[in-house]
Every structure is written in C-alpha cells, then in structure tokens.
Amino acid sequence: MRINLFSIVATLSVALAFGGEMASAQYGPPGMSPYGAQGMAQSASFYQGGEGAAPMGAGGGMPASYGCSDAMGCGNGCGDGCDCCSGWNHRFHVFGEFLYLRPRDVDIAYASIIDGPIVAGAPGLQAGPIGVLDQDFQPGFRFGVGFTTDNCNQVTVSYTQLDASSTDAITATGTNVIRGLVLHPNSVNAGSNWLDADAVGDIQLKILDADYRGLLAHCCDYQVGYLVGVRYARLEQNFAAQFNNVGTEFVASTVDFDGVGMRLGLDFERYGRNKQWFVYGKGYSSFLGGEFKGTYLQGNQGDPVIANTSWNAGRIVSILDLETGIGWQSCSGNVRLSVGYLYSGWYNMVKQNEFISAVQNNDFVANGLSTYDSGITFDGLTARVEVRW
C-alpha cells in the first residue's frame, strides 16, 4: 500500500510539472490567466493548428497577441490599452508613398560660351557660363501590398517610379559665340560658332520589389527585422541638345539599364512611451545583373545622320538604399503615417556624359567605358501612409 501511494504521488508530481511547463510555454508566465486581456490562449490555439484553431481578434483580424512573456524581457502590458510585445498583429497591409527626390551626378555640360568669333576648330577662352543640364527635385511614388503569415513573417510586393525632366538654355551676346561640347569632334560643324543652344534631359526610374521580411527581435518598445527579396529595375537616361545659328545642329543620346537580382537588408523601429510615436531606420543592398544599352545620333537639317552609333554591355550594378524618419500609428496599429529622408546610390553605372565622351573619343575599351565605375544617386523626402488589418 505504501508503494502504491508513493507511485501515485510521483506520477502526479511529474504530470503537474510537465503540465506547468506546457502551460507556461503556451500561455505566458506563471500566474497569467490563459484567457486574460492579451488573449494568450487564442494565440496558442491559433498556432497549434488544431480543430477550431481560428479564434480571431476583434474585426476578424489576427489574434490579439502572439505570445508576449516575461522571458522576452518586456513584461505583459504597456498600460496604454495597446497590444505590446506581439510583433505584427495584422493579416494584410497596403501602403502608398509620395517621393520627392533629386537625381544627382547626372549633369551634362553641353555648351560653352567663348570669346569670338574665331577660326573654326580653334580653342577659345571661356567668356560666360557653361551650359549644364542638371536635374532638380521631382515627385515620384511608391505603393505596395503585403501578407502576414504570423507575427514574425510577412511577404510584400511594391512598385516605385520616378520621372525626372530638366531643361537648360544659353545665349551668346556681343562678339561671343557658343561651342558645342557634345558634338562629335570629327564632324564638319564640330567647331562651328553658334549663337544659342538648349538641351533637355529625362531620367525615368522603375523598380519592382518582391520581399520576405522577418523579425529578428521585438518587444514593447522596439522591433528589429531583416529582409530578403528580389528586385527588377529599369533606369533610362535620355538627352537631346540643339545648336542654332544660320542652321541647326542636334545631338540625341540614350543610355538604358535593365537588371534583376537579389535584395538584402535590415530595418528597425523604436517606439515612444505610448507606442504610437516612433522613429525608424532602413538599410537595404541590391545586386543586379543587367545590361546597358547606349545610342548616339548627331545630325542637322541638311544631313540627319552625321554620326550614329550604339553600344551594349553587361554589368553588375549594386544599389544601396538608406532611409530614416519619424512616424505615428494609431493605438491599434491599423493606421500608420511617417515622413523621412531617403538616399539611394547606384554604383558601377554608365552615365550619359561618360557615354558621349566615349563616342567623341572613339574609345569604349582602354580608357573608355570599361574603366568607369560611376555612381548615380537619388535623395530626398518620403511621406508614407499605411493601412493594416
């Protein structure tokens, strides 16, 4: 009888210990009600995947919480009525961004005012401003949709577009004249004296991203995540210049890039005391294998094709995207607003001025485009609206 009683007591002790560990793992710290305010029992049931394992939060969204425990070092409540320590509590999200960016390192010096008139082809002294085509800040946009699989994993698809355009013009006065800096040096009119010149340039950027995001760590006052994805990008550079005197000479050139590759990065959010205001930072790198295609055409009203050529080459382009800013979210986290500063650097690029220089010098190998390792950058402001449910 003593042996039987001992066996019963030992069995009950093991069962209670094992059951306590299971309850703690599923429902949070000891002493927490499995049906408390954070809805821990619903979260555990949801991820166990059993029969009826679909208890949802208010409005039919994701469970109210995904398992915050003292073991995570962030407690069980924030005292503000908001969910805390629960990662991503939504199933879907959509967002739209207004971008106000400036393309940099894309300037093209197309004409120079010199003292004259002088003998055609002879060098002259600069006697006025250089005609430079450069880009200014231009509006763009980004939008995307996402699906959250659980509180630590989500998939997002986004599209970005920027259309930048710029014009410039110069006029010679007095005895001064204009020399074209983008005309082919072996053409008949390369050293001609022009009275006025103008140029126009366009840069169009299109990006399609498909990303997987996961949380590395999260708590009541911060989130740290990582990103792995695929990016397709197209960058078009278009340039045209016209020189006028008795006749008209023109130059038209394009450099386009198409590439696809992988995308990697980290991001974080740091929340204020009430978890509504936050600061954020993002850092992503992309490595795209693609091809550059360049064309150059010079002509006039008498001969529309004086110089004509094209060039293709494959390259690996690396892209560095950095962003930081401040934001606000509703207590439930369903609505988020943010503003920030964005920097995007594109490296190992072929720029329009480099391509024109290679055409003028008939050098695409030794000292030409094969030796260039240039960058094009974009920077400016971004404002984002996001809705989650």
**Residue 5, helix vs strand vs coil:** helix
With a cut of 70, say whether residue 188 has pLDDT above it: yes
**Residue 38, helix vs strand vs coil:** coil
- Condensed to tens digits (0 to 9), the pLDDT of residues 322-356 reads 999 999 999 888 999 999 999 999 999 999 999 99
Quote the CA–CA distance of 54 and 277 in Å, as a whole number: 31
Token pair 């795209």 is found at: 288
CATH of domain 92-388: 2.40.128.90
Quote the CA–CA distance of 359 and 311 in Å, as a whole number: 10
Query: CB within 8 A of 51, min separation 6: which ones?
Result: none
Band (pLDDT 50/70/90 cuts) for residue 122 is low
Share of the chain above pLDDT 70, in %: 74
Band (pLDDT 50/70/90 cuts) for residue 383 is very high
pLDDT at position 115: 86
- Condensed to tens digits (0 to 9), the pLDDT of residues 35-87 reads 343 433 343 333 333 444 444 443 344 443 333 333 334 443 333 333 445 78
Where do the domains of the chain lie? Answer: 2-65, 92-388
The helix-helix angle for 40-48 and 2-27 (nearest 10°) equals 100
**Please, is 181 exposed, middle or buried when counting C-beta atoms within 10 Å of its C-beta (0-12, 13-18, 19+)?**
buried
Quote the CA–CA distance of 58 and 324 in Å, as a whole number: 32
Report the candidate in 265, 252, 266 with the shortest Cα–Cα distance to residue 307.
252
With a cut of 90, say whether residue 302 has pLDDT above it: no
